[in-house]
Amino acid sequence: MFDIVGDVHGCFQELDALLTQLDYSPFNHQHPQNRQVVFVGDLIDRGPDPISTLRLVMSMVEHKQALCVMGNHDDKLYRYLKGNNIIPKHGLKDTIDLLKKEPQDFGAKVFEFLHNLPYQLLLDEGRLHVSHAGLPEKLHGINNSKSRSHSLYGDVDGTTDANGLPIRKDWAANYKGSRIVVHGHVPVKEVTIKNGVWDVDSGCAFGNKLTALRYPEMTSVSVPALKNYMPGHPFGDSP
Ligand code: MN
């Protein structure tokens, strides 16, 4: 069925190792049991190789070996490429500098790929919901500004804590839906489960690990980060 991969953030070597461990041969576009990867978004920024990550994920999506939803970092790159006035920070400047070294048609392909990314996916006949930051049940299948914002950033209202980081409300604490909800966005040391809501972002860019949650088995497979790509930042300390 599905292997749901948490925020990759340019950690290409770890992604390659994880996919190999899960029996994918990404450039042959085959899996022996016809499983599919689902990326929860945030493919870029922070880690060392956002370009190879994009190239691989775009190829897997094109060959229907993977699905992917939009993360807040992907969305920001999309808006930058669209020509919006974006201040590149939180690693986006590095991604843009690397992208500029690529042939121009690659940039156009990245733009097209990001343009087509959904914000949320309902899979397995509606039993499984995937988005970047997770969605409460009333927003499942709804495409409006509220659902798009929640799927990118979670339940935030613009307030920040003493360190300037957005305060996220714990919407999963009230989740009573029957669907399994899987998301990334919030780095955690281990996969967490709350009321059927799973967080699979195990903070690879922060030196922890990259995780895939296998569905429907609900077991996880991880590879350790090769290094901490965010030295000086406490674990998860960045939007
Ligand atoms: Mn992220």
Whether the CB-CB separation of 85 and 48 falls below 8 Å is answered with: no
Q: How far apart are CA 21 and CA 25, in angstroms?
A: 10
Which residues place a Cβ less than 5 A from the ion ligand 1?
7, 42
Q: What pLDDT score was predicted for residue 168? A: 83
The helices-and-strands tally (H runs, E runs) of the chain is: 6, 12
Enter the DSSP assignment of 165.
Answer: P
Q: How far apart are CA 121 and CA 119, in angstroms?
A: 7
Distance 128 CA to ligand 1 centre (A): 21
- The pTM assigned to this predicted structure is 0.95
Q: What is the pLDDT of residues 174-224, one digit of tens each?
A: 999 999 999 999 999 999 999 999 999 999 999 999 999 999 999 999 999
Distance 152 CA to ligand 1 centre (A): 10
Residue 121 Rama label (left phi>0; alpha psi -120 to 50; beta): beta
Q: What is the pLDDT of residues 146-176, one digit of tens each?
A: 999 999 999 988 888 887 777 888 899 999 9
Q: What pLDDT score was predicted for residue 158? A: 80
Distance 54 CA to ligand 1 centre (A): 15
Distances (CA, A) of 185 to 108, 144, 151, 166: 26, 20, 10, 12
Give the residue from 130, 128, 137, 110 showing the smallest Cα distance to 53.
110
Distance 134 CA to ligand 1 centre (A): 12
Whether the CB-CB separation of 35 and 124 falls below 8 Å is answered with: no
The single-letter code of the amino acid at 237 is D
Alpha carbon 163 to its chain's center: 24
Q: How far apart are CA 149 and CA 117, in angstroms?
A: 14
Distance 42 CA to ligand 1 centre (A): 5
Mean pLDDT value of segment 218-234: 94
The single-letter code of the amino acid at 151 is S
The mean of the pLDDT values for the chain is 94
Distance 23 CA to ligand 1 centre (A): 25
Distance 69 CA to ligand 1 centre (A): 12
Distance 215 CA to ligand 1 centre (A): 21
Distances (CA, A) of 40 to 30, 84, 104: 21, 24, 27
Which element (helix H / strand E) includes 185?
none
